[in-house]
Chains A and B, each alone.
Chain A
Amino acid sequence: MDNVKFGVIMTTLGMGGTLFSLWLLTLVMSALKKAFPERPETPAGGAGKEAGK
């Protein structure tokens, strides 16, 4: 394969592939955050644990 063809394939697929993959990961991260949101700690549970000590 000649260098021009190799360069074009590597640049197009490389840059496009990296951008696409990371974009896909942003979607995964957003989905994870929606599926498992941070829940505030329940003071009652914490107090119970302390009391148990």
Chain B
Amino acid sequence: MMESLQSSLHFLVSGFAALTWQQAVMIAVGCLLLYLGIAKDYEPLLLLPIGFGAVLVNLPLTGLMEEDGLLRFFYNTGVLTEVFPCLIFVGIGAMTDFRPLLTRPSILLLGAAGQFGIFLTIILALGLGMTQLDAVAVGVIGACDGPTAIYVTSQYAPHLLGPVSVAAYSYMSLVPLVQPPIMRALTTEKERKIVMKITKEKVSQTVCIIFPIAVTIVTCLIAPKGAPLMGMIMLGNLMRESGVVARLVGAAENEIPNVVTLLLGLSIGATMQADKFLNTTTLLVLGLGLLAIMLDTVMGVMFGKLMCFVTKGQVNPLIGAAGISAYPMAARVAQVQGQRYNKRNYLLMHAMGANTGGQVGSVMAAGIMLSIIQGLGLG
């Protein structure tokens, strides 16, 4: 009797005995993510499940990421197969209004410049000794687009999925802090005061319907490997603009992204196991990820200055910073900065155009990277 009691008691406290200091640190990291999501409102939809997943997976003897574990099942089913990021993209497409971009198509070019940080970061990562595919995974944090970063990383560097996803989502919420100093440093006060004309031109519904179809065909012919991402975002947008599948649009805007975000967040958190996460590579990934977003902003603002010069002062370079995929935070930052220097300046509409351009640009950049990797025989 006493022996059975002792063995049962031992089993009950075995979790405490098996807890390593590395796991304790990772549980603390998970709690920090929960704090940032709950108390600071930094991307709570993602940071809450990620943080909780990180806590769960670092509790010893739970077996959640072992072959028949629950979190392993979510991870294998949704992340390794790349289904989760693609489903999120259907929702993003259904929630995105491309009219501000269609009103002034040239703004789309800012969405290209806003991705240059990705490629500059790849060079830096290679210089710091990372492998080629790891460097691509780190660079794609600069897309400022969580699903894209997860999609690329899960294909070519799944061991970096945890730090890349955490960096991609947490830095996205730091855009209002990261961008303004760079925007101010690279522009003159005169440039920041430029008032952009409000275009009253309306875009026909036919154009809005054909746009996602045309974008899918053109971009997938250029970069076929990006088809799952671009195809899904444009499918979502076509459903929205067609106006004939209200039920599907409702699901794409609510139920699908809600369920997928929960499972995706948990799966990402599950990759943050102490033995895989606590190393210098993670610090390198987090540092280079931040740099990627800063370089995106630099290149976007510089391209904005070029457009300002070419159009003889009709484009406010501040909207260049909105050429990243962090929607709609980056557009709001451009609006706030513009109004700070000129109360009568309403940049939001133009910045939204650049921001949606950044969404298309980030997916395009990822598709091109994947196609190049395939072309080089690395993937």
Which residue numbers of A lie inside 8 Å of B, CB to CB? 1, 3-4, 6-7, 9-11, 13-15, 17-26, 28-30, 32-33, 36-39
Contact = CB atoms under 8 A, between A and B. Distances in A.
A21 B204 contact: no
A15 B214 CA distance: 22
Nearest to B131: A3
B369 A10 contact: yes
Contacts of A14: 118-119, 122, 365, 368-369, 372
B206 A36 contact: yes
A38 B286 CA distance: 47
Contact of B119 (A11, A24, A32): A11
B65 interface: no
Contact of A28 (B120, B204, B214): B214
Contacts of B38: none
B222 A17 contact: yes
Contacts of A9: 372, 376
B122 A25 contact: no
Interface of B: 101-102, 105-106, 108-109, 111-113, 115-116, 118-120, 122-123, 126-127, 132, 135-136, 201-204, 206-207, 210-211, 214-215, 218-219, 222-223, 357, 360-361, 364-365, 368-369, 372, 376, 378
Nearest to B303: A19
11 contacts: A10-B136, A21-B218, A22-B108, A22-B109, A25-B219, A26-B105, A26-B106, A26-B108, A29-B211, A32-B207, A33-B204
Given A19-B113, A28-B215, A30-B105, 7 more contacts: A11-B122, A17-B368, A18-B368, A21-B223, A22-B360, A28-B218, A33-B102
Contacts of B201: 38
B126 A19 contact: no
A32 to B, nearest CB: 5
B372 A21 contact: no
A11 B368 contact: no
Contact of B132 (A3, A13, A38, A39): A3
A29 B218 contact: no
Contacts of A25: 105, 108, 215, 218-219, 360
Given A7-B126, A22-B364, A15 B357 contact: no
Contacts of A30: 105
Contacts of B364: 18, 21-22
B115 A6 contact: no
Contacts of A7: 122-123, 126, 135
Contacts of B116: 15, 18
Interface centre among B112, B132, B360 (most CB of A within 10 A): B112
A29 B104 CA distance: 9
A47 to B, nearest CB: 21
Contacts of B210: 32, 36
B116 to A, nearest CB: 5
Contacts of A28: 214-215, 218
Interface centre among A26, A28, A29, A36 (most CB of B within 10 A): A29
Nearest first, the 10 A-B pairs at minimum CB distance are A29-B105, A36-B206, A26-B105, A22-B112, A17-B368, A38-B204, A38-B202, A19-B112, A3-B126, A11-B119
A7 B222 CA distance: 21
Contacts of B202: 38
A11 B120 contact: yes
A11 B368 CA distance: 11
A1 B215 CA distance: 33
A26 B368 contact: no
